[in-house]
Amino acid sequence: MTEKIEETYQVKADGVPAKVEIIDTEEEYVLAYRVERPEIPSATEAVLEDLKEKIVRQVKLSTEEFVDSKALEDVKEKFNKEAMELLEDELPETNKQTKEILIGNLIHEMLGLGDIEILLNDRHLEEIVVNGSDDPAWVYHKELGWLKTNIEFENEDEIYNYSSEIGRRVGKNISSLQPLLDAHLPSGDRTNATLYPISTQGNTITIRKFARDPWTITDFIKNGTIDREVAAFLWLCLQYELNLIVSGGTGAGKTSLLNVLMPFIPPNQRVLSIEDTREVSLPEFLHWVPLTTREPNPEGKGGVSMLDLLVNALRMRPDRILVGEIRKKKQAEVLFEAMHTGHSVYSTLHADTAEQTVRRLVNPPIDVPKTMVDAVDVNVVMFRDRRRNFRRTMEVAEVAEDENEELEARVIYEWMSKEDEINKKQESEHIYNTLKLHTGMTREEMNQNIEEKKQILKWMEDNDVSTVDEVGKVIAEYYSSPEKVIEASKKNEEPEKVY
């Protein structure tokens, strides 16, 4: 069999190093993702099997520690310390690195998800899926798409046990009576599980990974997801509190774009984010209060919905409100009421075009009155090109009434697929008029402002200002001393000297 190694790198999880090879083989139609863990001598493995029960007895963990996802790292540390002391007594000749690997393997087996823990620690992966015990796990690589791994499962019970472990940590149950599970791992990774016979080929687990290093606007410009002009235009819109909805299909990058735009909010304003799972990551120095929903317990009590949080958020004197996704009519009504009462609101919605965004908002099941939907100022549509494996800002539109007083989405910027460019389709009317009303600026002054912001974004890109806090500091300094930052960008000074 002919094999070609496309890529090789190392991954480490709980002290266990693993070698990852991505291989092109003649046997498979897709690239193979091969994980090689360190080999443990069989004699050592046998001793370890005997030690498992002793370790479990010695490492006394409370019920609360087992079910509290926030306590997981403390539990691992406690387990590690106790297990290391036992191994020092039982395997004194074994070197420290091997002991760390042995303990890491135990942690994965007894407190984690086995070999899946290696995949969770691979920063190149976006998605991990288990389709049943007859099929190895699959992963979605950020650059290479779907890959077939060499991680296999003994039987359906093993997959079920992993699903139960995930559910237990968030106080949820999965069983033949409740065969569907939506939950999240302590890391924030979204998880869905299903049981046979609902999933006819076997028990499944799907994990969408939470970004460990959040994207920034600099990253998006560098990789072509957005261009400087559109980024500067949206910066202007967020600076002056226009309402924005990001649309797109599944995996198109809606939440990611919302995330990279949030540092454009002035640091002297109070931001509340409402999500099912924490995905937004704002600079530390922003006045930000993150809120997350909570599922009810098995008795159906204690649940906190997005609507509950949204209603409560309006009592917390927010300047800006960020809502993870518009799904239901009641959520949307409260959201648009917040817009009409003077709050700046940002959210996401499943829709493939700006026109479809408006249609979805004013028709069932969301079905918000047109008089409320006109509070949306800007709609950005994200697109995922699966053939070329990249994401793009496909449309930037303004929501306004036409001559017949019907709501329409007027596309201002549009992505051209063939050229892979974002072009300006027409001048904005509604957005510029709203900004003029809010700021008193003329169109010429607004265009000049956008050019200055483009210059600053280019400066950040050229100087690799790419972490959330670095980007946030530049923008905060711009709001404090705009002339200073504009001048520094023109002279290409080191950003560290500015903030």
| Domain boundary assignment for the chain | 3-208, 217-429
Could you tell me the CA-to-CA distances from 258 to 188, 320, 385, 421, 429 in Å, in that order? 17, 13, 19, 21, 23
- What pLDDT sits at residue 193? 97
Pairing of strands 16-25, 3-13: antiparallel
Asked if the 3-208 domain carries CATH number 3.40.1190.10, the reply is: no
- The pLDDT mean for the chain works out to 89
Angle at which helix 329-340 crosses helix 306-313, to 10 degrees, equals 10
Amino acid at 488: A
Burial of 346 from C-beta contacts in 10 A (0-12 / 13-18 / 19+): buried
Encode pLDDT of 287-323 as tens digits: 999 998 887 776 778 889 888 998 899 999 999 999 9
**If one looks up domain 217-429 in CATH, what number appears?**
3.40.50.300
| 184 or 434: which leads in pLDDT | 434
Do you know the residue count of the chain? 499
Q: What is the distance between the alpha carbons of residues 82 and 57, in angstroms, rounded to a whole number?
A: 10
What digits encode the pLDDT tens for the residues 218-263? 999 999 999 999 999 999 999 999 999 999 998 899 999 999 999 9
Tokens of 2: 């002919």
Its pTM stands at 0.82
Q: What is the pLDDT of residues 325-347, one digit of tens each?
A: 888 888 888 888 888 888 899 99
Exposed / middle / buried, residue 171 (Cβ in 10 Å: 0-12, 13-18, 19+): middle
